[in-house]
Structure 1
Amino acid sequence: MEHPIFEIKNLSYTYKDKMETTPALRDINLKIDKGDFVALVGPNGSGKTTLIKLILGVIKPQKGEILINGKSLKNFDAWQEVGYVSQKSNSFSKGFPATVREVVLSGLTKEKGLLRRFGKKDRKKLDDVLELLNISDLKEKNISLLSGGQTQRVFIARALISNPSILVLDEPTVGIDARHVKEFYDVLLTLKEKSVTILLVTHDIGVVVDHADEVACLNEHLHFHGTNHEFKNLGEAELSKIYGFPLQLVSHDHERECCS
């Protein structure tokens, strides 16, 4: 029997300091199967980034359990199978003395170690992933000279070069113009065809629901998890209740836009 890629059971997390406690997540239950493309949406402060940190093992659950491919998070050791792109990738490049080639190849260090040399197969992986993301011409450029959209694609390439079976992205389209956003989603659909499991955190509801298989809507609790079709059929009143403020859904051509 094949296990879900992610299985989250009764997960809760609260931030604590000397003065107060702030609940971030309460009793989250969520399953994501192999090859699914799931969009995780919700307002600012809804717990999306906290959930990603828990899934990646950056912070530990205070209550509940996370399984990856049937293994408890504390026993999971196949991190080379997990690619991750942070929403802070753009800020990394400022003044950093490295070429695109060097940054992308650094994505192989999880499987090769820090001091191993890169061989012919590695250089082939590099060329393939740069071509996939349409940035082959940037290969020898210093990353500090790139635009925000170019930089983000470089870090997506870095996440993909190890050929992960799972890809986690936290607001990956921030700073990318509309044309490159479309190209980005085309890349994700190509990866989905290769059975890569994708978990994408985004505010861009209008675009993502036309691409993702499923949508999970989080605001401390998991208020909704279903197909993109079911999410599109939620009324504005129901969405506004989940988000905690009025939302208006506006159609432009074939895209839906969500704005407060």
Structure 2
Amino acid sequence: MATPVFELKNINYHFGTKQVLDNINIKIYKGDFLAIVGPNGAGKSTLLKVMLGLLPLQTGEMFIDGIKYQRRASDLKISYVSQKASAFNAGFPASVKEVVLSGLTKQKHLFQWFNKKDVQKVKDILKRLNIEALFHKNIAELSGGQQQRVLIARALISNPSVLILDEPTNGIDAKHVSEFYDTLEQLKKEGVTIILVTHDIGVVVDTATQVACLNKHLHFHGSAKAFKSLDQVEISKIYGYPVKFVDHQHERECCK
């Protein structure tokens, strides 16, 4: 039987007296595309940060590639795009080229410089995301949506085996959201394990293979097909407010 890329056992997390995660058990396998959905304040970002080691384990256990996590770096190539990745201050002294190149830093030895092949990788990944025209731009001069796409390029340039994204389409216009989901679908076909926190249930319907519906408790974890079959009343109970699906060309999105 295959070993999960991530396995969480009995994970609980508190901020002071507030319990954010309650007894979370989940397995994520190589090549899965897991969409984590749920209302604001449901603990989705907290769960990602626990998985990434950005927050310490309080109770429970985590295994990465079958090895118990003990705050040591994993051999997995993991790239992460955070929810606030696009918050660059005015005057931030870096070009798009430099920001995306920084995604290769871990692959370089001490004092090893970037070369022409590395620069070509930047051009290729920017082209893949349809933002090659931004190559020489200063990152601070871009819109929030453009900055977010640059940070996605930075995450992808190292060819990660696991890609973790927290609300990556915030501030991105509809056309480029559609292109971004197409890119994720291609990465899924290439065997990349994708973990995506999203409010956009359209990605669940069209692209994800697995869904985790979280609201402090893990109310649902299964296939996207099984999630689609849930009664809307049942989903509304999880979210705590009425939820309906709205169809449009590329995706469906869940909204109040």
Q: Distance in 2 between matches of 1:254 and 1:144?
A: 31
1:144 aligned to 2:140? yes
Q: Distance in 2 between matches of 1:118 and 1:250?
A: 46
What is the percent sequence identity of the aligned residues?
Answer: 59
Which AA in structure 2 matches 1:11?
I
Within 5 A, what are the aligned runs for 1:174-213?
174-213=170-209
Which secondary structure state, in structure 2, belongs to the residue aligned with residue 117 of structure 1? coil
Within 5 A, what are the aligned runs for 1:46-195?
46-74=42-70, 76-78=72-74, 81-92=77-88, 94-112=90-108, 115-195=111-191
Preserved CA contact (<8 Å) 1:80 1:110: no
Which secondary structure state, in structure 1, belongs to the residue aligned with residue 170 of structure 2? coil
Which AA in structure 2 matches 1:7?
E
Cα RMSD (Å) of the superposition? 1.8
Q: TM-score, normalised by structure 2?
A: 0.94
Q: 1:128 to 1:253 in 2, by over 3 A?
A: closer
Paired residues in the alignment total 256
Preserved CA contact (<8 Å) 2:208 2:224: yes
* Runs of 5+ unmatched residues, structure 1: none
Q: Distance in 2 between matches of 1:50 and 1:56?
A: 10
Q: TM-score, normalised by structure 1?
A: 0.92
Which secondary structure state, in structure 2, belongs to the residue aligned with residue 209 of structure 1? helix
Q: 1:93 to 1:159 in 2, by over 3 A?
A: farther
1:238 aligned to 2:234? yes
Q: Distance in 1 between matches of 2:101 and 2:76?
A: 14
Which secondary structure state, in structure 1, belongs to the residue aligned with residue 241 of structure 2? coil
The aligned residue for residue 215 of structure 1 is 211
Q: 1:177 to 1:254 in 2, by over 3 A?
A: closer
TM-superposed CA distance for 1:115, in Å, is 4.1
Q: Distance in 2 between matches of 1:80 and 1:113?
A: 18
Q: 1:161 to 1:114 in 2, by over 3 A?
A: farther
1:3 aligned to 2:20? no
Task: After superposing the two structures, state which structure 1 stretch, 93-102 or 67-76, moved more.
Answer: 67-76
